[in-house]
Amino acid sequence: GPLGSPILELKEKIQPEILELIKQQRLNRLVEGTCFRKLNARRRQDKFWYCRLSPNHKVLHYGDLEESPQGEVPHDSLQDKLPVADIKAVVTGKDCPHMKEKGALKQNKEVLELAFSILYDSNCQLNFIAPDKHEYCIWTDGLNALLGK
């Protein structure tokens, strides 16, 4: 009836703001960054790398770390950068280049569920294995939000 319409209008107003808020929170988490394990089946000693988004959301900074970080990793300690504008796509699971390689960790299911890759340039990619499902969701959602998906 006529009562329903003001609430619908309100919902339509609020919805984009809430989505924007959620997006901002996700992107804030990417700005903090995450420490990822290096995928290296042969050498067992654990290597890490770190990836984070610049505060203006325009560049991904990343680089190798000797050990798991204690606290913040400064942007300038991460040597490599990838402009968000260069990102072509984000792929997950079986679609990741590093999951297609022969014997990619025997395709173990846990790893498959945590794998995602950023494709950029003609044939380049950044391959990730998230530390856990939570980080996986933050990064895949955040990256898609960044790309306006």
pLDDT at res. 72:
74
pLDDT at res. 100:
82
Share of the chain above pLDDT 90, in %: 52
pLDDT at res. 38:
80
Q: Model-level pTM?
A: 0.81
Fold type of domain 4-146: PH-domain like (2.30.29)
Q: Which residue has the higher pLDDT, 29 or 74?
A: 29
pLDDT at res. 116:
96
Domain range list for the chain: 4-146
What would the DSSP string read from start to end of the chain?
-TTHHHHHHHHHHHHHHHHHHHHHHHHHHHHH-EEEE---SS--S--EEEEEE-TTSSEEEEEEESS--SS---GGG--EEEEGGGEEEEEEGGGSHHHHSTTSGGG-HHHHHHEEEEEETTTEEEEEE-SSHHHHHHHHHHHHHHTT-
